[in-house]
Chains A and B, each alone.
Chain A
Amino acid sequence: MLGYQSSLVMYDEEYQRIVEGADKLLRESNAKSVFLVDRNGQLIAATGETEHLDTTSLASLTAGNIAATGGLAKLIGEKEFSILFHEGEKDNIHISIVGGRVILVVIFDQRSSLGLVRLRVKKASEEFDRTLEALDRKSAEESGGGDPQNPFAEITDDDIDNLFR
């Protein structure tokens, strides 16, 4: 039984690899934007046409969407639905689960196609999965070593109180 559960930690090196992977997927699938979101609704990375999008809300709603359809899947005896597709008049959203823990979102329009996006997502997911595994290993090593990098180890009550002033 756990109390406080382990945090998801993202380091510079892996973050760069994820952003590069997202950029590559964006180009190869001819998409408008690509997002990686963790299953709890936190945005990990975003690339492409994101400046007019509320990326925080997108991340939260995507995670909610995956959670709700995951509940539906279990109701019919499936483990989960690994791919979701929403078709709009102009823009479409392709949502898939990478490595069982991260959500990959691709927004695309008529300049691409569902077939192309699915093909490129499949290839990109393997690369993301490898990066996430490396991240897990590094995270385990850090916390196993007493987590010397914990940036919050030295925070004081004043630091916390200052947030609310």
Chain B
Amino acid sequence: MAFINYASREINCKIVYYGPGLCGKTTNLQTIYQRTSPDARGKMISLATETERTLFFDFLPLALGEIRGFKTRFHLYTVPGQVFYDASRKLILKGVDGVVFVADSQDERLDANIESLENLKDNLDEQGYELEKIPFVIQYNKRDLPNQTSLEELKELLNPDEVPDFEACALTGEGVFETLKAVAKQILVELKKGKR
């Protein structure tokens, strides 16, 4: 649910990075943070455990510039990927404008990806959203690792609707900004349609 403020001429949108545990959601945000000019980003907040697993969420505010005189800001969130944090994931999805599903390309994580995507659909459904009707992109992360599921199989299992999808290596930054740009673009196109 974007927040359009005519008084301060700002628009704020919420993007949530979703996916199984250790798939690279936090790394995506860290890479965006490291490679964005300090003028364009706020402080990154990570509510994590002592072992650096996301406990509640990561948060990174980005100011991308102006469109038609409105400052355009995107608030990026990650959810905790571990299965037992489902209650927290539901909370973070509230008011979401667009979703990035980060898949782990490693063979042994294929089932975890499928389970997480189903969980995303269920949690959105619970809040009255339909994944097919909201801005949504998929990122196949960790394409640099040797034990990979083929891209064809990942696409077939995770992306039957053929939403925009990207190969990535969040650690090196490959595909990270392409993913962000694609979901941000979809959100702005929805705003253009005036779906308020």
Residues on A with beta carbons closer than 8 Å to the beta carbon of B194? 143, 147, 150, 152-153
Q: Which residues does chain A contribute within 8 Å of B87, judged by CB atoms?
A: 71
Binds A, one of B109-117, B127-135, B145-153, B168-176: B127-135
B35 within 8 Å of A (CB atoms): no
Q: In the complex, what residue of chain A is closest to B195 when comparing beta carbons?
A: A4
Contact of A61 among B8, B45, B67, B75 (CB under 8 A): B45
- The count of A-to-B residue pairs whose CB atoms sit within 8 angstroms is 154
- Determine the distance from Cα of A44 to Cα of B128 in the docked complex, in whole angstroms: 24
Asked whether, in the complex, the Cβ of B3 is within 8 Å of the Cβ of A42, the reply is yes
Given that A60-B45, A152-B188 are known contacts, is A5 also in contact with B95, CB under 8 Å in the complex? yes
By secondary structure, the B interface counts as mixed
Give, as a whole number of angstroms, the nearest-CB distance from B48 to chain A: 13
Instruction: Give per-residue flags for A38-73: 1 if the beta carbon is below 8 A from chain B beta carbons, else 0.
Output: 111110100000000010110011001001101100
Name the interface size band of chain A: 35 or more
Given contacts A3-B133, A41-B14, A164-B177, contact A9 B75 (CB under 8 A): no
Q: List 22 A-B contacts (CB under 8 A).
A: A3-B134, A4-B133, A4-B135, A4-B195, A5-B95, A7-B1, A7-B191, A8-B1, A9-B4, A15-B8, A40-B95, A56-B42, A67-B94, A71-B87, A71-B91, A151-B6, A152-B68, A152-B70, A152-B194, A160-B184, A163-B65, A164-B64
Which residue numbers of A lie inside 8 Å of B, CB to CB? 1-12, 15-16, 38-42, 44, 54, 56-57, 60-61, 64, 67-68, 70-71, 139, 143, 147, 149-155, 159-160, 162-164
